[in-house]
Amino acid sequence: DAGVIQSPRHEVTEMGQEVTLRCKPISGHDYLFWYRQTMMRGLELLIYFNNNVPIDDSGMPEDRFSAKMPNASFSTLKIQPSEPRDSAVYFCASSLQGAGYGYTFGSGTRLTVV
């Protein structure tokens, strides 16, 4: 298995533009997580899905953020409109049965909003 695949690896966009981050989880994993990493807050859980259904989105900072999982092999995190304070590294992770020791993270998307 190629692991969790995220795209793009880097994204630079102007304030106000829409940004879409993509994730392909490991086949067979039933949980998918979106995290954001910043110096100030470390690794923050934004939202997670179980069997393609959003379970907890309490970490989503604002209505500008939305996430979807249309099928078991694909998820998106969208920011519209983007702001400079959204600049961070966004990680997707997947696991079997939500077990923290079984998380596999993608390599992340480094987002810069100018």
Partner 1 sequence: DQQVKQNSPSLSVQEGRISILNCDYTNSMFDYFLWYKKYPAEGPTFLISISSIKDKNEDGRFTVFLNKSAKHLSLHIVPSQPGDSAVYFCAASANSGGSYIPTFGRGTSLIVHP
Query: Which residues contact partner 1 by CB under 8 A?
Result: 4, 31, 33, 35, 39-45, 48, 50, 56, 91, 93, 97-108
Whole-number minimum distance, CB 107 to partner 1, in Å? 5
- How large is the C-alpha radius of gyration of the chain? 13
Whole-number minimum distance, CB 15 to partner 1, in Å? 25
Show the tokens assigned to 106: 């993608």
Whole-number minimum distance, CB 63 to partner 1, in Å? 22
For residue 53, count other CB atoms closer than 10 A to its CB.
7
What backbone torsions phi and psi does residue 100 show, to the nearest 5 degrees?
Answer: -60, -30
Return the number of the residue (19 or 92) whose C-beta is nearest partner 1. Answer: 92
Return the number of the residue (81 or 105) whose C-beta is nearest partner 1. Answer: 105
Return the number of the residue (23 or 79) whose C-beta is nearest partner 1. Answer: 23
Strands (E), 14-59: 19-24, 31-38, 42-50, 53-56
